Structure 1
Amino acid sequence: MLIIGLTGGIGSGKTTVSQFFENLGTPVIDADHLTRALVAPGQAALCDIAEQLGNELILSTGELDRALLRQRIFEHPEQRIVLEGILHPRAREAALKQLAIFRDASSVPPYVILSVPLLIESGWTDLVHRVLVIDVAQAQQQQRASERDGLSAAQINAVISTQADRNSRLAAADDVIHNNADLQTLETQVKTLHQCYEQLARSA
């Protein structure tokens, strides 16, 4: 079973590309989804966040105040390191468990997509056989992130500054999707890669 690491900067289109792969029957493990599960009420990671970053980050419902956390990290970048120290090891462990489930299934898929925003930065490339980067110009990243999340230009730039730059991502890539046109063009690229990955899996 091939493991394809999917990554790209904020606003690059990882969710859309993942959906296109899922539409083709490919399993997708999304690190963002794993992380959201880790900070659900009552989870150990949420308790660690409250203990190390402040109880005010927990709402009266027991849920994480994501807006306040985003603001806190924007104003105090050093707290991002603390947060990543809490979440990244747990998310990696959860991803490994998901991969094991697919690998041990009675019908093993030819390949799996592991979508990780900080795949390169966090050193998760050792988990994958190929790195697939979604490439997009920074101006498009900013526009899409602003429209999707309602973030200010300063907040978006702060996120971009914590991620690998465009050249570093492309240097690490085995395959590249260029998300600078319409959805049909994007889907066509996914379908082409899908065929390639199935062929690679058969020949592995």
Structure 2
Amino acid sequence: MLTIGLTGGIASGKSTVSRRLTELGATVIDADAIARALQEPGQPGLEGIVEEFGPAVLTPGGRLDRAALGALVFGDPQARQRLNAVVHPLVRAEAERLAAAAGEDAVLVEDIPLLVETGQHGRFDHVLTVQAPVAERVRRMVEDRGMTETDARARIAAQATDEERAAVSDTVLVNDGPVQQLLDRVDAWWERHVEPRLPSPARPDRL
């Protein structure tokens, strides 16, 4: 099994890279998707969050009010640590379960936004980081996600810096142009770093 840690700041283009890696044949475990599932009603993640922060983080229908929770934690490092202490162990346990089921011949990609912040980079064969200019990330968050610029910059500031991610990365893919350019860079990275390590029958046929 080849293990790859995929990370990148919010709105860097990491989801686009993740989808392309799935298309190329990787088994992708998405930490954000796991976290969201664990925060559904009746799930242990939501129960833990309510126990830690109280019922004010719930909507009238009993679901997680992400805006209310975000307002609590993104401007308060201690509150963010409390949230992470609830969510991260649950996410890791589920990711480990999915990894164990992937099979020995898998190219296993774990998509972890906070890979650097949680100190997980050392457990992968290769760490792949997606990076984009801060101004472009802010634009995407404002235009595509409806955030204010202040909120967007607060989210970026709450994460590791580009320099911190690059310091623990084997490869940094810069997303500073059209989507197709990023996809081409993913393909080139795959051909160079992954295909040579695949068993021959698993290599995709290329014209």
- TM (norm. structure 2) is 0.90
Hey, what's the Cα distance between the residues in 1 that align with 2:122 and 2:95? 13
Mapped contact 2:75–2:154 kept (Cα < 8 A):
no
**1:15-59 deviation digits (Å, cap 9, x = unpaired):** 111111112222111100010011111012211111110112122
What is the TM-score when the length of structure 1 is the normalising length? Answer: 0.91
Aligned position for 1:66: 66
C-alpha distance in 2, partners of 1:99/1:79?
A: 30
Q: Which amino acid aligns with 1:198?
A: E
**Contact kept in structure 2, 1:12 and 1:136, CA below 8 Å:** yes
How many residues matched? 199
Query: Equivalent of 1:157, from 153, 160, 168?
Result: 153
Q: What is the CA–CA distance in structure 2 between the aligned matches of 1:183 and 1:190, rounded to whole Å?
A: 11
In 2, Cα distance between equivalents of 1:5 and 1:76:
27
Q: How does 1:171-182 map to 2 (within 5 A)?
A: 171-182=167-178
Residues in 2 aligned to 1:20 and 1:147: alpha-carbon distance in whole angstroms: 24
> Superposed, which structure 2 residues align to 1:66-85 within 5 Å?
66-85=66-85
The correspondence of residues 1-204 of structure 1 with structure 2, limited to 5 A, is 1-103=1-103, 108-109=105-106, 111-195=107-191, 196-202=193-199
Alpha-carbon spacing, 1:167–1:76, altered in 2? closer, same or farther (3 Å): closer
Tell me the residue number matched to 2:205.
Answer: none
Coordinate RMSD, CA, aligned: 1.7
Question: How far does the alpha carbon of each residue in 1:91-128 deviate from its partner, in whole angstroms, 9 at most, with x for none?
Answer: 11111111101036xxx32x121110110110121331
Q: Determine if contact 2:8/2:131 at 8 Å carries over to the other structure.
A: yes
Would the aligned equivalents of 1:42 and 1:62 in 2 still touch at CA under 8 Å? no
The unaligned stretches of length 5 or more in structure 2 are: 201-207
State the SS of the aligned residue for 1:63. Answer: coil
Q: Report % sequence identity.
A: 36
SS for the counterpart of 1:12 is coil
How many angstroms does 1:201 deviate by?
4.1
Q: What are the ranges of 5 or more consecutive residues in structure 1 without an aligned counterpart?
A: none
